[in-house]
Amino acid sequence: MNLVEQLLVNKALNVIDRREAVAEIWGVQPDYGAAEACDVIFSTRDVSVASLAAAHLALLPGIRQQKHQVASDLLSRGDDWAAAAVDLVKFLPRKKIAEIGGRILEASGQDWADSLLFEIAKYFPEQLREFAARVSSPIIGEAMLAGGPDDWVADFVRRFEESDESAFLQALVRIRTPAARAALLSLQASAPERVRPAIEACLENCGVTPSPSRRAFFRGSYFGLIAPRASGRHVVGGRIGGQNPGCEICRAEMARVLCLRPDALGWDLRDSPNFFWYQCACLDRSEAEVFTRVRSDVVERLVVIEIAEPRRCECPVFPVECALVLEESPNQIGIGSDRVPGRGLHDVGGPPNWCQIDPFPRCPVCRSTMTYLAAIDGGMAPFGQIRIRGTLFCFWCDECQVAGTRRQR
């Protein structure tokens, strides 16, 4: 048994500590440990070891053939072994999902099956929709709403009109079809003043902003996968020259969370947005956005006045500057269920997958609705832990060149 296997089976360490210890070893290998992770999965007799190694594979860009082979092997073993493939489900071809879905549905209600069904419902909702009546889990049911039929829309409208419960408005957001948007617009026109802000927030999340010239988000949803800096043009971590802004309490320098290159995405933005967040814990309970604007490699903090130079942080969010490699998501409608933060799942484009559905932030300069661009999550990366407590949602005002970062947990 080599050192990696010894760490993976070491039950004296918790799961996060084991994954971090292994990432320190695999993260410096040329393939980020992909080949060794596959070998561990095929040879181990410990399902928890297979699960940890598969979770590491799921963080790596590319290697689709290895991911398919590993997932197919684990799924063929059934029960808890099948559940070890849960983080790889989103990378499987639709044909494979159709092949395994029925067998997993037969075990609905068992923990191992429900964890897989949840992932299938998130990324391939159409594969489970006809079996909705057989699924008892409410979170799986929420995930299946994405792209749902028009009769579901009519039912949620009726239930909202009878109860005024915002959950039924949010169900329309989760569906996100033209019929769902039309229903929300119709409700907005006839609703009493007290519920119009909630409907407006729902419309933003369906792609409709108060100003027709303002885009709520860009079509096209991608997974973001952390990779060596030379692997891609989008950047996580690092600096942009000059100095990053700092915490207004302790002056610890903020982290650059993300820099997107719009031309690589075909987005008609005037500049490459840079997003920042705290590396200290001073404002850990604050839900206020961080607004910044970059001018000639100097980062200007908006809303909060900078009164002193920031100091370097000793516990960085990102230990090294990396690339964010994008791969197309199988779900181009939008994830129906609420996000579970801290899983190392990064998204670019499409509508936001919130932890709780929220209104979009307003630009502090022009007060207009900002455009959603991406989400960067805390949790594991191939090199170790991303030290973000929750998920950071990145918004942009192209007219004012202002970036806004909001955290949810």
Count other Cβ atoms within 10 Å, centred on residue 151: 9
Q: What is the pLDDT of residue 307?
A: 47
| pLDDT above 50: residue 222 | yes
Count other Cβ atoms within 10 Å, centred on residue 96: 16
Answer yes or no: are the C-beta atoms of 218 and 279 closer than 8 Å.
Answer: no
Q: At what angle do helices 15-26 and 47-58 cross, to 10 degrees?
A: 60
**Using one digit for the tens of pLDDT, what is the confidence trace for 56-114?**
999 999 999 999 999 999 999 988 999 999 999 999 999 999 999 888 998 888 999 99
Q: What is the pLDDT of residue 12?
A: 85
**Using one digit for the tens of pLDDT, what is the confidence trace for 41-58?**
999 999 999 999 999 999
Q: Give the separation between CA 87 and CA 58, rounded to whole angstroms.
A: 6
Answer yes or no: are the C-beta atoms of 74 and 84 closer than 8 Å.
Answer: yes
How far separated are the first and last CA of the chain, in Å rounded?
Answer: 38
Q: What is the pLDDT of residue 292?
A: 92
Section 218-239 average pLDDT: 94
Report in angstroms the alpha-carbon separations of 191 from 158, 196, 320.
13, 6, 50
Instruction: Give me the sheet containing 290-295, strands edge to edge.
Output: 274-277, 255-259, 235-236, 322-328, 222-227, 346-348, 371-381, 384-397, 402-408, 290-295, 298-302
Question: What letter would DSSP give residue 31?
Answer: T
Q: Give the separation between CA 252 and CA 373, rounded to whole angstroms.
A: 26
Across the chain, mean pLDDT equals: 91
Q: What is the band of 338 on the pLDDT scale with cuts at 50, 70, 90?
A: very high
Q: What is the pLDDT of residue 288?
A: 87
Q: What is the band of 126 on the pLDDT scale with cuts at 50, 70, 90?
A: very high
Cβ neighbours of residue 53 closer than 8 Å, sequence gap 6 or more: 8, 37, 38, 40, 41, 44
CA 379 from centre of chain: 11
Q: What is the pLDDT of residue 369?
A: 96
Q: What are phi and psi of 67, to 5 degrees?
A: -60, -45
| pLDDT above 70: residue 136 | yes
Q: What is the pLDDT of residue 250?
A: 86
| pLDDT above 80: residue 302 | no
**Using one digit for the tens of pLDDT, what is the confidence trace for 236-284?**
998 777 677 888 888 888 889 999 999 999 999 999 999 999 988 887 7
Q: What is the pLDDT of residue 27?
A: 86
Question: What letter would DSSP give residue 161?
Answer: H
Answer yes or no: are the C-beta atoms of 125 and 143 closer than 8 Å.
Answer: yes
SS (H, E, C) 51-91: HHHHHHHHCCCCCHHHHHHHHHHHHHHCHHHHHCCHHHHHH
Section 222-236 average pLDDT: 95
Section 377-382 average pLDDT: 94
Verdict on whether the full-model pTM lies above 0.85: yes
Q: What is the band of 312 on the pLDDT scale with cuts at 50, 70, 90?
A: low
Q: What is the band of 216 on the pLDDT scale with cuts at 50, 70, 90?
A: very high
Q: What is the pLDDT of residue 5?
A: 75
| pLDDT above 80: residue 295 | no
DSSP string for residues in 164-190: --HHHHHHHHHH-SHHHHHHHHHHHHH
**CA angle 54–59–61, rounded 5-degree value:** 115
User: Maximum CA pair distance of the chain?
Assistant: 68
If we measure between CA atoms, which residue out of 216, 199, 198 comes closest to residue 207? 216
Answer yes or no: are the C-beta atoms of 228 and 322 closer than 8 Å.
Answer: yes
Answer yes or no: are the C-beta atoms of 319 and 255 closer than 8 Å.
Answer: no
